Amino acid sequence: MKNFLFIIIAISLVFCTAYEDAKLHFENKDYDQALVLLQSEIDAKSANAKAYALASKVAAKLDDLDNANAYILEAIESDPANKEYREYQKELELLKNGLKDAKKTFDSGYHEEALSDYDKLAESFSDNAMIQYTKGLVLKQMGNLDAAVQHYKKAISLNPFEEKYEKAIKVVAQTLAKNGDEEFRRKEYDAALTYYHQAVSYYSNFKDGTFRLAKTYFSVKDFENAKKWCEETIRLDTVHVQAIKMLGDTYKRSGNIDKAIELYSQAVEINANYDRAYYSLGVALKDVGRYDESVQALNKALLVNPSYTKAYETLGVVYQEKNDFDNAVFNYSKAIDTDGKAYKVHSRLASVYNTQEKYEDARTSAKACLRIKGNYAAAMCELGIAEMNMCNKVAAEDAFTKAKKDRNYRKFASDYLKNLNYYTRDCN
């Protein structure tokens, strides 16, 4: 008999502890933890009326009105004389029916009337998140995104455990971002920025939105803002390789090549298949004279993307700068194989052929460039040099005359024109 009483007392103490803990969690708004404790008592069939009543309140806070109603009915069954439970159950019914009626009004297309219904419900149930959320849905349908997001955020503040409230804000942000993408594709960058900023203002953790801002600012050459939004994207996602690579681009633009190399290296360490980051790393290493490392980076870009024309072209430049002309010719030729319209590569190839004194090949490459871009001064200069060395004085003079129309090549071409007789003095 004593053992039996001891067991009863022990069970009662355990229940009291569980109930008091759940109540404390409820008061601290830790509704999910409160429900876990109460559910364990319910599953063990050791819950009394107080536990069911508290479980009902917790479920209501979590917007699970069906279970809230089921729990309060269990509480009433355990304690039929409790008027408080019955009054609470009536309030739940009013809330459930009110939400159903308002939704029906909304589904019927009566948006203003639905808003009025939700406002009336909010007067009686000011701490109910579902009312705020569904009102937000109506406002979104009406195109009032600012107000819709405000109500979604209010729903989150009342019930931070329901994921769909945050998802609703994210959907609005994604919709705005898509609108921004359309403007970006049309090169309407100011309009795109407006959409992206609005998206991020609604959903501050929207890393796709922050990166779109960075990309757009970079496109309009606002590198300070591009840098700012790259850094914000990386704050939200430390392995966002596109943002890391673009941040490297902003540092390279400002002349901090060492920092750019560091960021490009970080990007390829995170994603070994990121060909563009390997390419940018190769270019940056070339610019500081680290040719062997540049070759390694560019070859890795080509391992990932064997059709990467610019990587072949830059390899050609590296080898040309190293006076390794055979490898320069090989890589320029590979670049042309992948993109026959890469006019700058044809011009670079002509330059190497002129250096190798292969003037006919130089003329062929220069003319190939000019068939694609007829006024490209660099190719005109290479053509002039090739024609001059083949004693085609008239053709050389014509090429240099056309080249000097470009102010960047005016002095170079003018010097050749001025001294053309000297350079062709050995011609018959």
What pLDDT tens digit does each residue of the chain (428 aa) get?
444 444 444 444 444 577 888 888 888 888 889 888 888 888 878 778 888 888 888 888 899 999 989 988 988 988 899 999 899 999 999 999 999 999 999 999 999 999 999 999 999 999 999 999 999 999 999 999 999 999 999 999 999 999 999 999 999 999 999 999 999 999 999 999 999 999 999 999 999 999 999 999 999 999 999 999 999 999 999 999 999 999 999 999 999 999 999 999 999 999 999 999 999 999 999 999 999 999 999 999 999 999 999 999 999 999 999 999 999 999 999 999 999 999 999 999 999 999 999 999 999 999 999 999 999 999 999 999 999 999 999 999 999 999 999 999 999 999 999 999 999 998 87
145-158 helix and 189-202 helix, angle to the nearest 10 degrees: 20
Number of domains comprising the chain: 2
Long-range CB pairs of 272-276, under 8 A, 24+ apart, other chains included? 273/304, 274/241, 274/245, 274/304, 275/301, 275/302, 275/304, 275/305, 275/308, 275/311, 276/245, 276/301
- Give me the phi and psi of 274, to 5 degrees please: -90, 90
d(CA 292, CA 142): 61
DSSP state of 29: T
Q: Which pLDDT value is given to residue 35?
A: 84
379 domain-assigned: yes
Handedness of CA 335, 341, 342, 347 (dihedral sign): positive
Q: Which helix (H) or strand (E) holds 424?
A: none
Q: Which helix (H) or strand (E) holds 106?
A: helix 83-107
Q: Which pLDDT value is given to residue 53?
A: 85
- What is the separation, in whole angstroms, between the first and last Cα of the chain? 132
22 domain-assigned: yes
Tabulate helix, strand, coil % of the chain (nearest 5).
Answer: 80, 0, 20
Inter-residue contact 352 to 320 (CB < 8 Å): yes
65-78 helix and 49-61 helix, angle to the nearest 10 degrees: 170
All residues at 6 or more sequence positions from 242 whose CB lies less than 8 Å from its CB, including other chains: 211
Inter-residue contact 403 to 377 (CB < 8 Å): yes
All residues at 6 or more sequence positions from 286 whose CB lies less than 8 Å from its CB, including other chains: 294, 314, 317, 318, 321
Domain boundary pick from 62, 81, 100? 81
Q: What angle do CA 87, 88, 90 make, to 5 degrees?
A: 65
The token duo for 424 is 């062709």
- Give me the phi and psi of 205, to 5 degrees please: -95, 15
103 domain-assigned: no
46 domain-assigned: yes
146 domain-assigned: no
User: Tell me, what amino acid is at 355?
Assistant: T
- The label of the residue with tokens 């390794």 reads 324
Q: Which pLDDT value is given to residue 29?
A: 87
How would you write 249-312 as a 3-class SS string? HHHHHCCCHHHHHHHHHHHHHHCCCCHHHHHHHHHHHHHCCCHHHHHHHHHHHHHHCCCCHHHH
d(CA 212, CA 208): 6
369 domain-assigned: yes
| Cβ neighbour number for residue 92 with a 10 Å cutoff | 22
d(CA 280, CA 256): 14
All residues at 6 or more sequence positions from 305 whose CB lies less than 8 Å from its CB, including other chains: 275, 311
Domain boundary pick from 58, 81, 104? 81
353 domain-assigned: no
d(CA 377, CA 359): 18
Domain boundary pick from 48, 81, 114? 81
Burial of 316 (0-12, 13-18, 19+ CB in 10 A): buried
- CATH number, domain containing residue 64: 1.25.40.10
Containing domain of residue 374, as a range? 365-428
Q: Which pLDDT value is given to residue 21?
A: 85
269 domain-assigned: no
Q: Which pLDDT value is given to residue 2?
A: 43
Q: Which pLDDT value is given to residue 14?
A: 46
Helix (H, G, I), strand (E, B) or coil at 162: coil
Q: Which pLDDT value is given to residue 10?
A: 42
